[in-house]
Amino acid sequence: MSCQTPSRASPAATTIMLLLWVLASVPGFCQAASEEQVKAAYLYSFAKFIEWPSRSFQSASSPFHFCVVNNRSFQAELDRTVKGKSVAGRAIEVASVLDTEQSRSCHLLFVDASQERQSRPLLRALQGATILIVGETRNFIDGGGTIGFLMEDEHVYFEINQREATLAGLYVSSRLLSVAKRVIQ
Amino acid sequence: MTLVNRLPGRLWRMAVGCSLIVAGLPCLGQESTPNLADATLEQLGNIKVYTASKHLQVTKDAPSSVTVITADEIHKHGYRTLADALKTVRGFYVTYDRNYSSVGVRGFARPGDFNTRVLLLVDGHRLNDNIYDEAMIGSEFPIDIDLIERIEIIRGPVSSLYGSNALFAVINIMTRHGRDLKGLELSANAGSFNTYEGRASYGGRLQNLEYMISGSFYGGRGHNELFFPAFNTPETNSGIASHNDDDQVGSSLATVSFKDFTFQAAYGTREKGIPTGAYGVLFNNPGTRTTDAHGYVDLRYQHTFADSWDILARAFYDRYTYQGTYIYPSSLNPAELSPDFDYADGKWWGAELQLTKTIFHRNRVTVGGEYRDNFKQDQSNYQINPYMLAMDERRSSYVGALYLQDELTITKTLSLNAGFRYDYYDHFDSSLDPRAALIYRPRSQTAFKFIYGEAFRVPNVYELYYSIAPNLPNPKLHPEKIRNLEWVWEQGVHKNIAISATAFREEMEGLITTRVVPPDMEIFENLQNAESIGGETEITGQLPRGLEAGASYSFQQTKDTRTGQFLSNSPRHLAKFSLTQPLVGKKLFASLDVQYRSGMRSLGGLAISGYTVVNATLLGRNLGKHLDISASIYNLFDKSYLDPPSSANLQMPVQQDGRSFRIKLTWHPGER
């Protein structure tokens, strides 16, 4: 086989072959949705079921800002999801931000697991700002986040810290609260 | 590129062959991206998802080739120590001389050094000690592996950020938060060789206060009998070391965060019996043993000022002690014993300040400084029958450093991560180490990285001054240097599969390594200029039914550039395979690990055969809601294999464990 290592049919080649074979033989693995796709769709839903005060927009025609902390691949996914959509009649802009300063102009800010180390100072700095902060690390809402994703049985769910939302001046619809796995009041 | 021309033809044929097979996979070319924006909340909750390879997501933007191991993987695969986890990492191999575990990266594992070319961090705190520079990864690692949330492995030289020791890799351990524990957690396990372990942890969060405290004990009697053919004479118990392999560990960790402050205290101590008759001690005498202890306190402050200045400040104090007892026959009367006591005592404190700010919207600039005062680096040795003080080396040193790094976004698809660090030493020439990584991401699923980096390591006081036979001191040692050129391609395939390929060339200048001084003495010298070229490839993926699998293969050719000979302790091929299959919903998981290491040559010229070891673990999670039970079999097929000896005993390869078992119970009454 062409995957052989230079010396004999080593376990190296065997393991690689075995994996490729497993991948190739499982039917229909292209049909499930990816975690990123589902999370992007959730973020769009959050924007629909949460009300931002009008003071968080410069004018009636200002766009709604989705932001992702330093993750351009998720930014691209979110871009695809919200293409041609709007939030409360506003156009949508998606940006990847690097620091707190750039985050100030966001309405919804997503912090992925790889940014966990930065999330603590970020959450602290943005406390009280009119920004919906969504994370995906475990117990994100216990650490000052507003909405946290969780994975269970290959499904994506979310939990809400309503106290943080209220502090931020956001109104969370009861519809969203009823679907949440856990709500901190 | 010269590197490409120098890779052997067969490797390229192999690579082409493999990529053809990959290209033949179904549905690779198609894009099926359902737009879920119109789905209801309930529908979204009902969609079964495959996890995008977190490893890829985390690592695609990283300016190096990175591997991440999560707590979840540690539990599912039944890793007992950090060494167990590192064995599964692409391009890594671990050897064990029945005292310390040594990690080799990209073909470099010098016999008799103590993982000095890998930097080990716990929550950013440097763990390599100030006597041997040792990164402890076996049972001697002072943090219980159950307290690890994630392990990040950054390949290549990163002295531009971390200074000395960051030559081949930086291993950053992140420990668990109090909020993840939510109360009490108790864990106990029992395994082969009369091994028992217990842990109690408690953690939680109150407003701005987060706390985690944990204590563990581990005790193993080890092998009742170990056979060493080199000692197969009637005077030395026919080569059988009996009850001589025991291992006792005690460790504790406490982390408290209040607002922007995090305080951490850690302490671990391990005592290990040495059955190998190392350093010419009396064979089969259980008195020969070592005790290592490392403790530290670390205070960290992280804050964002004026929305744009991220500040990280840290101050720490560390203490490391080692005591070795080696039993020799007395020179006065060979019928009597003369224990030889070997001590090391290291104390150091230091501080670090780091500022990060985004300027002109395109540059994320990090500037920092570090100071470390090794105010005690003492080694001593004496024997007691007759009493003789053989060594009393008292040393101290300090290092100060400044570093600068910029992450520059050039265009939407192109970014540059460049920086350097300047280290000033009181005893050595200062070192300036640059690093630059160009990252090109034409599509979200594709990343190309081109990396150049330099790193250095200053000789440690053990290499410089330790003067007990068989070692000769060498105060003339100077820092060694590495230059590394690396090319990385990372590709996501349909979001659930990640493929990566890496080619590298590393040049070591003045590698500090052991030279045998005839007849039987050893000395550390800046002996070799060495070069390692090679490639690594890895594929990881998750399939709809929850099957997670990963495979990696690495090839490296590490040679002394002067003699053209292969270095010792350097296997040319490594392959790993791992698999986890959920059974019965999310309650039961079956995991398998396969590790292959090709043959290599030991420092003494012995041929060490290659081997393949298979480990299997079954984990039941949240049984009766609060109990996790796992059962593991290590070395499932009872493969008999040897690791090369360390410099302590050149002529004797070390037998590794055959099939062994472990049962583990963890009770976590707190809601997760």
CB contact, 8 Å: A48 with chain B? no
pLDDT in the model for residue A32: 58
Is the CB of B544 less than 8 angstroms away from the CB of A18? no
Is the CB of A41 less than 8 angstroms away from the CB of B39? yes
pLDDT in the model for residue B231: 87
Is the CB of A72 less than 8 angstroms away from the CB of B553? no
pLDDT in the model for residue A3: 37
Could you give the residue ranges of the DSSP H alpha helices within B522-562? none
CB contact, 8 Å: B35 with chain A? yes
Which of B11, B12, B16, B21 would best serve as a mutation to test chain A binding (most A beta carbons within 10 A)? B21
Task: Round to whole Å and give the CA distance between A4 and A20.
Answer: 14
CB contact, 8 Å: A167 with chain B? no
Cβ A173 vs Cβ A51: under 8 Å: yes
Alpha carbon separation from B511 to B348, B507, B555, B645 (Å, rounded): 26, 10, 21, 20
Half-sphere exposure at residue B420, Cβ-oriented, CA atoms within 13 angstroms: 6
For residue A15, with 0-12 CB atoms within 10 Å meaning exposed, 13-18 middle and 19 or more buried, which class applies? buried
Considering only CB atoms, A44 lies closest to which of B8, B37, B356, namely B37
Residue segments in chain B with a per-residue pLDDT below the cut of 50: 1-33, 51-57
Task: Round to whole Å and give the CA distance between A114 and B504.
Answer: 26
CB contact, 8 Å: B9 with chain A? no
Cβ A12 vs Cβ B536: under 8 Å: no
CB contact, 8 Å: A56 with chain B? no
- Residues linked to residue B667 through DSSP beta bridges, in sequence order: B186, B627
CB contact, 8 Å: B303 with chain A? yes
Report the residue count for chain A.
Answer: 185
The C-alpha of A156 sits at a distance from chain B's nearest C-alpha, in angstroms, of 6
Q: Cα–Cα–Cα angle for B16, B22, B26, nearest 5°?
A: 150
Task: Round to whole Å and give the CA distance between B447 and A76.
Answer: 14
For residue B9, with 0-12 CB atoms within 10 Å meaning exposed, 13-18 middle and 19 or more buried, which class applies? exposed
What is the β-pairing status of strands A132-135 and A108-111?
A: parallel
Is the CB of A100 less than 8 angstroms away from the CB of B308? yes
Which of B307, B356, B554 would best serve as a mutation to test chain A binding (most A beta carbons within 10 A)? B307
Count the neighbouring beta carbons within 10 Å of the beta carbon of residue B309: 15
For residue B335, with 0-12 CB atoms within 10 Å meaning exposed, 13-18 middle and 19 or more buried, which class applies? exposed
CB contact, 8 Å: B13 with chain A? yes
Is the CB of B44 less than 8 angstroms away from the CB of A156? yes
Percent of chain A with pLDDT over 70: 81
Tokens of B322: 């080692």
Considering only CB atoms, B358 lies closest to which of A99, A122, A125, namely A99
pLDDT in the model for residue B30: 35
CB contact, 8 Å: B72 with chain A? no
Which of B36, B357, B358 would best serve as a mutation to test chain A binding (most A beta carbons within 10 A)? B36
pLDDT in the model for residue B664: 96
Residue in chain A nearest B495 by alpha carbon = A34
Task: Round to whole Å and give the CA distance between B304 and A5.
Answer: 51
CB contact, 8 Å: A36 with chain B? yes
CB contact, 8 Å: A49 with chain B? yes
Cα dihedral B299, B304, B310, B311, rounded to 10, equals -30
pLDDT digits (tens, 9 = 90+) for B571-598: 999 999 999 998 877 789 999 999 999 9
Residue in chain A nearest B30 by alpha carbon = A30
Residue segments in chain A with a per-residue pLDDT below the cut of 50: 1-9, 21-31
Q: Among candidates B76, B17, B88, which has minimal Cα distance to B596? A: B88
pLDDT in the model for residue B651: 63
Could you give the residue ranges of the DSSP H alpha helices within chain A? 11-25, 35-49, 72-82, 100-103, 116-125, 162-167, 174-179
Is the CB of B596 less than 8 angstroms away from the CB of A15? yes
Task: Round to whole Å and give the CA distance between A57 and B467.
Answer: 73
Q: What's the one-letter identity of residue B363?
A: N
**ipTM, interface predicted TM-score of the complex:** 0.76
Task: Round to whole Å and give the CA distance between B424 and B431.
Answer: 7
DSSP E strand stretches across B57-162: 66-70, 92-96, 101-105, 118-122, 125-126, 148-155
CB contact, 8 Å: B209 with chain A? no
> What SS3 state is found at B281?
coil
- Tell me which residue has tokens 């070692």: B471
